[in-house]
């Protein structure tokens, strides 16, 4: 039970001195400074996990030589993340909602660290025939941590942050994953300029995993704060399987999951295959890494701006549709210009614009998933969107590689894809013209589907507004009782007419 504004919460009074911390109060609800530490830990873990995921893509040709495998095997070092996330995604959602945020973050931290250690072992002086199976095993274990770490930001923001900070907190935590991809795209080609530096890169990328596991294990003490930051955080989410049933019947959620999944899948396929797309046109690893860095750097900038805007305006749907439209246009621009030689500036501009608009969608769509499905658990609703993106990412990567064609003798004179000492005519270098045209079609279809097919009520915000109105009524009557107000909110029937009236009143 929450205390009235003039009383001391019994939950606060029983806190031990060692657990005392700075608190910020807004009316009846309290936010704790500890939330920033949890946010920082989640950011470090997501950065580390993303670095482990994508570090081989910008140096695909050197990875090919180091492990003595073909290009498809190299791609599987990234694809395994998507494959593992699909069956483990629902398990991760269930764990986060059943055992709590602390359990999910710490388990994810340990899986990530173990995977990083096995990757280091794969670079030691052992039999060459087990090096690649070992690194793939390490990737698989780190990949099993990804859903726990990717699904946690929305839940963390809902449980620890006020309604005026939720979108921003979600944005910071969610964008830490692409920040890790940015770091990998810059650092991997910078370190591994030849095959002798490959082991050094693997060791360096294991360090953040070690830092993250120590910070999570030693510093995260609880899944929830002593008192909730908002009325929605005070309420109990739907049971896991009941929440899945509600999502299955939610039309708006399906539209969002499919369209968001397409956008995430396109981004994943682009970051995985970027070096293979650009090198046949004469662009080297360093330029591919630069494009990947620009994609994410401008994406983080766009996400920061969009997160602040939606926190202030609460116009999640309008901003998401606007961003998706511009992201699709930018993606088509990149797909068309990437087919040309000597267009480095335009390619860099196209990737920057695609990142700026596309990345900003990520945290906003995760927040929208909660708003359109409340009171379904945050990990379930956000996790469903990410699983959709992983499934579509696998499909897009495989299809793009199938559609890719051999370079013509004329095209081979421009390529910059050499790996190893094999004659260039025997190397498996592909022309991605047709896959890029398919990329354009998917981007256009997905943006159209979201813009014209998605419409939702902000159920979580409306519920909080209704409770705030009941508070005012109870205060005016002199009989305010927060627990009774919460119980009144939970017992009210949900109907379209009632929700429409709430929206009009707000």
Residues 6+ apart with CB under 8 A from 459: 371, 372, 373, 374, 375, 499
Question: Under DSSP, is residue 449 helix (H, G, I), strand (E, B) or coil?
Answer: helix
End-of-domain residue from the set 438, 456, 474: 456
Per-residue pLDDT band at 12 (split at 50, 70, 90): very low
In residues, how long is the chain? 506
Q: What is the pLDDT of residue 497?
A: 40
Q: Which of 275, 258, 421, 433 is nearest to 351 (CA)?
A: 275
List of long-range contacts for 475-478, beta carbons under 8 Å, 24+ apart: none
- pTM exceeding 0.85: no
What are the pLDDT digits (tens) for 382-405?
888 888 988 898 899 889 888 888
Q: Which of the two residues, 18 and 277, has the higher pLDDT score?
A: 277
Convert the pLDDT of each residue in 354-374 to its tens digit: 989 988 888 888 888 888 888
Confidence band for 424, pLDDT divided at 50, 70 and 90: very low
Q: What kind and span of H or E run contains 430?
A: strand 430-431
Question: Does residue 199 surpass a pLDDT of 70?
Answer: yes
**Of the candidates 309, 26, 322, which has an alpha carbon nearest to the alpha carbon of residue 171?**
309
Higher pLDDT: 194 or 140? It is 140
Going by pLDDT thresholds of 50, 70 and 90, the confidence category of residue 258 is very high
Q: Residue 384's pLDDT is what?
A: 87
Nearest to 198 by CA among 62, 333, 52, 94: 62
On whether the CB atoms of residues 41 and 172 are closer than 8 A, the answer is no
Q: Which of 119-123, 164-168, 390-394, 455-459 has the highest mean pLDDT?
A: 119-123
Q: What is the pLDDT of residue 498?
A: 41
Whole-number pLDDT of residue 409: 67
Same domain, 500 and 363: no
Residues 429 and 488 in one domain: no
Same domain, 339 and 233: yes
Dihedral of the alpha carbons of 48, 300, 380, 38, in degrees to the nearest 10: 60
465 and 458 in contact (C-beta within 8 Å)? Answer: no
N-term to C-term CA, the chain: 26
How many distinct structural domains can be found in the chain? Answer: 2
Residue with tokens 């900070």: 165
Output the 3-class SS for 43-102.
HHHHHHHHHHHHCCHHHHHHHHHHHCCCHHHHHHHHHHHHHHHHHHHHHHHHHHHHCCHH
Looking at the fold, whether 397 and 290 belong to one and the same domain comes out as yes
Q: How confident is the model at residue 23 (pLDDT cuts 50, 70, 90)?
A: low
What pLDDT does residue 18 have? Answer: 38
Higher pLDDT, 12 or 58: 58
Q: Is the pLDDT of residue 155 over 70?
A: yes
Residue 136's CATH number:
1.20.1250.20
Whether 452 and 483 share a structural domain: no
- In this prediction, residue 181 carries a pLDDT of 83
Residue 490 confidence (pLDDT): 43
Q: Is the pLDDT of residue 3 over 50?
A: no
Whether the pLDDT of residue 205 is over 90: the answer is: yes
Q: What is the DSSP secondary structure assignment for residue 14, as one 8-state letter?
A: T
Instruction: Give mean pLDDT, residues 242-263.
Output: 91
Count CB atoms within 10 A of the CB of residue 301. Answer: 16
Give CA–CA dist 260/255, Å, rounded. Answer: 8
Q: From residue 452, how far is each of 18, 159, 259, 445, 446 by CA, in Å?
A: 53, 32, 11, 11, 10
Question: Are residue 443 and residue 486 in the same domain, yes or no?
Answer: no
Domain range holding 488? Answer: 463-505
**pLDDT at 310 > cutoff 90:** no
Is the pLDDT higher at 345 or at 413? Answer: 345
Assess whether 439 and 481 both reside in one domain. Answer: no
- Tell whether 104 and 190 lie within a shared domain: yes
What's the pLDDT band for 450 if we cut at 50, 70, 90? very high
């Amino acid at each position: 039970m929450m205390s009235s504004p003039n009383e001391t919460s019994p939950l606060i009074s029983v806190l031990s001195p060692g657990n005392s911390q700075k608190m910020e109060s807004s009316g009846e609800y309290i936010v704790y400074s500890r939330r920033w530490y949890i946010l920082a830990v989640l950011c470090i873990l997501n950065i580390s996990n993303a670095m482990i995921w994508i570090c081989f893509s910008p140096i695909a040709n050197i990875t090919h030589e180091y492990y003595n495998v073909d290009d498809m095997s190299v791609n599987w070092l990234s694809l395994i993340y998507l494959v593992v996330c699909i069956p483990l995604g629902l398990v991760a959602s269930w764990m986060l909602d059943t055992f709590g945020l602390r359990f999910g973050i710490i388990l994810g931290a340990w899986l990530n660290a173990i995977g990083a250690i096995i990757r280091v072992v794969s670079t030691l002086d052992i039999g060459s025939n087990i090096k690649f199976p070992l690194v793939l095993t390490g990737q698989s274990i780190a990949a099993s941590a990804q859903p726990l770490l990717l699904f946690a930001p929305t839940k963390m923001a809902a449980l620890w942050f006020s309604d005026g900070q939720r979108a921003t907190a979600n944005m910071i935590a969610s964008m830490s994953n692409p920040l890790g991809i940015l770091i990998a795209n810059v650092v991997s080609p910078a370190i591994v300029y030849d095959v002798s530096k490959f082991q050094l890169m693997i060791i360096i990328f294991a360090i953040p995993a070690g830092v993250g596991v120590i910070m999570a294990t030693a510093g995260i003490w609880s899944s929830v704060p002593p008192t909730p930051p908002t009325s929605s955080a005070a309420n109990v989410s739907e049971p896991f399987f009941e929440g899945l049933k509600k999502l299955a019947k939610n039309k708006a959620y399906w539209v969002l999951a499919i369209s968001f999944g397409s956008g995430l899948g396109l981004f994943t396929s682009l970051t995985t295959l970027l070096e293979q797309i650009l090198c046949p046109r004469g662009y080297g690893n360093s330029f591919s890494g630069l494009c990947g860095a620009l994609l994410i750097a401008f994406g983080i900038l766009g996400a920061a701006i969009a997160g602040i805007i939606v926190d202030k305006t609460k116009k999640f749907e309008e901003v998401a549709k606007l961003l998706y439209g511009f992201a699709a246009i930018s993606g088509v621009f990149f797909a068309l210009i990437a087919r040309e030689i000597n267009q480095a500036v335009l390619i860099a501009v196209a990737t920057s614009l695609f990142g700026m608009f596309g990345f900003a969608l990520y945290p906003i769509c995760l927040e929208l998933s909660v708003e359109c499905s409340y009171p379904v658990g945050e990990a379930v609703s956000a996790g469903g969107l990410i699983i959709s993106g992983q499934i579509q990412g696998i499909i897009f990567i495989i299809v793009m590689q199938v559609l890719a064609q051999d370079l013509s003798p004329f095209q081979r004179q421009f390529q910059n894809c050499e790996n190893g000492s094999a004659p260039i005519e025997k190397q498996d270098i592909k022309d991605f013209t047709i896959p890029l045209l398919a990329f354009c079609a998917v981007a256009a279809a997905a943006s159209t589907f979201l813009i014209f097919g998605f419409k939702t009520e902000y159920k979580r915000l409306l519920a909080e507004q209704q409770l705030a109105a009941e508070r005012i009524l109870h205060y005016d009557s002199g009989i305010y009782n927060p627990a009774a107000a919460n119980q009144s909110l939970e017992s009210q029937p949900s109907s379209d007419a009632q929700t429409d009236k709430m929206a009009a009143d707000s």
